[in-house]
Structure 1
Amino acid sequence: MTIKRIGIVGYGHLGKYLTDAVLERPDFDLAFVWNRSISALEGNIEGRFICRELEDIGQFSPDLIVEVAHPVISEKYGPHFLQVADYLVGSPTALASQNVENSLREAATNHGLYIPAGAFWGGEDILKMADRGTLKALKVTMKKHPSCFKLEGSLKAQNESIEGTDPSVLYEGPVRDLCPLAPNNVNTMAAAAMAAHNLGFDGVTGCLISDPKLTDWHIVEVDVTGPEVGGKNFNVKTVRHNPAAPGAVTGTATYASFLSSMVRAGGRGAGVHLC
């Protein structure tokens, strides 16, 4: 059995979940854990696993580095990570910046850049369509309770002003413009834009809906349009209900999904991979 050494960047709810999973699984070894606040690690993580400076990750000899902290990590450290190991981007909204996407693609020459599918159902099939050039349109709609959004700028004010129980469309348009306004909420859309590479962040449509009635679920709809046959377009639409309490940015099923992505990540060589 091949044992994969995992480095975790970020020790919030998801980072802690993944760290515990690594420590429990016989096919993983924990290489390191980094967190912006070191005090969150002390007393919870053995000192030998604590990384204090991300520039020093090479000293821990990881096979796979997993970011679950903040999109800015990929911008600042992504190319460095890829010099050391395979890199799983847990905040793919960072890639909405063309400069960041370009820098990571250029750096993924010896190790692989991995994009977790997360709540993006059917990603492998959509990737195949993009590879063949048969993917004509893709729309991802996310519906959540207002308290489940962590938004910036005009979207934050719009969400906070919602009254009553009717759903409100906060945004509908290119995923590229949405990612900076909702960096913690639309990683699924960013993964979709990477899988649908023939459309990209400008061609994939994102729709964000704030619904006060959604007290138990996060809902993700993926609407795929393919080639025209006999005057009609191929179409697939999926609807995913992810259990989530009010205030939860991440639905409960996403934790297990991300762990599955981490298990699948690594070892595929250079380039960009969906997992």
Structure 2
Amino acid sequence: MHGIHSDPRGGEGCGGEDDSRERGETMNKEKKKRIGLIGFGQIGASLNEMLSAQPELNIELAFVHETNPERAAQIPDGRRLESMERFFLHKPDLIVEAAHPEAVRRYGALVLKECDFMVLSVSALADAALENSIRSVCHEKGTRLFIPHGAVLGLDGIKDGLSIWEHVTITMRKNPRNLNFDAAPHVRGEGITKETVLYDGPTRGILPLFPKNVNSHATLALASLGLDRTRSILVADPKLEESVIVIDASGGGNSIHIERRNPIKGVTGKLTILSVLESLKNIFGSREVIVTC
């Protein structure tokens, strides 16, 4: 169902200094890729800063669509797009959603009728009807939906063993102040005073409850056993000062255990933002309809 577009950069000894210089000159002459951003929060603004600081990537900002007035005021001059209805006039090669699952629901089909779409709010695909609609548009128009690996390290290893895995589990541990409880009214973050398991069950069930926190769960599930067979565990621990993600996969006598720890700001870690940039650099070239990268 997914394909991971591997980094096209090869190892050393692929032609020497002259060839490297020639490849660099060729890249600089290539037409710049144009991306549109939906959302200018922490990820969108950081991505814009990183792209501006690395002109050698040949990726430029076509426009930004942001509905929050305060955030919209920070958009670079001439780049603000009030309505998505005529976004195609800006001739983007790719639209990057960095807003909210509602943006995927609202704009997914609209965007994919014109160009490729990269979504960070992967939790929106818990809606099977939306996923099917997106697949249909992709096949009809020849466009692609990209899912960056984000917080999921080792996704290539998970995919490599797809035929043997019997169990895949992702466990996320965070301080409750770094979790968004807006869609989970049955629990209040300020009431958590000790380590508390907030959810333990199929991945599809957690996505509507913590849509801003568990996109990594959705990415792993879509790339492995699916939303109904992958197990998700979310733990709130007020003693934690970092985000902890553990992935376990087992089957056929084989197993994988991956643990990642990183400091976080708000609900998004810096490593997640950096991984989005890396995915952007490697995104072109794959021919699958829905692509983890």
**TM value normalised by structure 1:** 0.89
- Root mean square deviation of aligned Cα: 1.7
One-letter amino acid of the counterpart of residue 254, structure 1: T
Question: Is 1:87 paired with 2:117?
Answer: yes
Q: Structure 2 CA distance, aligned partners of 1:184 and 1:261?
A: 20
2:272 pairs with one of 251, 254, 267 = 254
Shift of residue 155, structure 1, vs aligned partner: 6.1
Q: Structure 2 CA distance, aligned partners of 1:79 and 1:44?
A: 25
Identity of aligned residues (%): 34
Q: Structure 2 CA distance, aligned partners of 1:53 and 1:266?
A: 26
1:169–1:210 Cα contact (<8 Å) kept:
yes
CA 1:170–1:84 in 2, change beyond 3 Å: closer, same or farther?
same
Shift of residue 121, structure 1, vs aligned partner: 1.2
User: In the alignment, which residue of structure 2 is the partner of 1:32?
Assistant: 63
User: In the alignment, which residue of structure 2 is the partner of 1:114?
Assistant: 146
Q: Indicate the larger mover: 168-177 or 145-154.
A: 145-154
User: In the alignment, which residue of structure 2 is the partner of 1:244?
Assistant: 264
Q: Structure 1 CA distance, aligned partners of 2:179 and 2:92?
A: 33
User: In the alignment, which residue of structure 2 is the partner of 1:4?
Assistant: 33
CA 1:72–1:43 in 2, change beyond 3 Å: closer, same or farther?
closer
1:203 pairs with one of 229, 237, 248 = 229
Q: Structure 1 CA distance, aligned partners of 2:69 and 2:238?
A: 36
Question: Is 1:140 paired with 2:170?
Answer: yes
Q: Structure 2 CA distance, aligned partners of 1:50 and 1:153?
A: 29
Q: Structure 2 CA distance, aligned partners of 1:269 and 1:112?
A: 8
Shift of residue 8, structure 1, vs aligned partner: 0.7
Q: What are structure 2's unaligned runs of at least 5 residues? A: 1-26
Q: Structure 1 CA distance, aligned partners of 2:70 and 2:125?
A: 30
User: In the alignment, which residue of structure 2 is the partner of 1:66?
Assistant: 96
Q: Deviations over 1:97-132 (max 9, x none)?
A: 1111111122222111110111111112212333xx
1:112–1:266 Cα contact (<8 Å) kept:
no
CA 1:272–1:154 in 2, change beyond 3 Å: closer, same or farther?
closer
Q: Deviations over 1:224-275 (max 9, x none)?
A: 113x2xxxx2111111001125xx2112222111211222223423511111
Q: Structure 2 CA distance, aligned partners of 1:31 and 1:271?
A: 23
The alignment of Structure 1 onto Structure 2 pairs a total of residues equal to 260
1:112–1:268 Cα contact (<8 Å) kept:
no
Q: Structure 2 CA distance, aligned partners of 1:273 and 1:146?
A: 31
Q: What are structure 1's unaligned runs of at least 5 residues? A: none
2:171–2:234 Cα contact (<8 Å) kept:
yes
Moved over 4 A (4+): 153-156
Q: Structure 1 CA distance, aligned partners of 2:90 and 2:270?
A: 31
1:88–1:265 Cα contact (<8 Å) kept:
no
> Aligned ranges for residues 15-30 of structure 1 at < 5 Å?
15-26=44-55, 27-30=58-61
> Aligned ranges for residues 184-195 of structure 1 at < 5 Å?
184-195=212-223
User: In the alignment, which residue of structure 2 is the partner of 1:181?
Assistant: 209
One-letter amino acid of the counterpart of residue 210, structure 1: A
Q: Indicate the larger mover: 58-67 or 32-41.
A: 32-41
Question: Is 1:222 paired with 2:247?
Answer: yes
User: In the alignment, which residue of structure 1 is the partner of 2:82?
Assistant: 52
2:181–2:188 Cα contact (<8 Å) kept:
no
1:12–1:69 Cα contact (<8 Å) kept:
yes
2:173–2:244 Cα contact (<8 Å) kept:
yes
CA 1:43–1:71 in 2, change beyond 3 Å: closer, same or farther?
closer
Question: Is 1:125 paired with 2:157?
Answer: yes
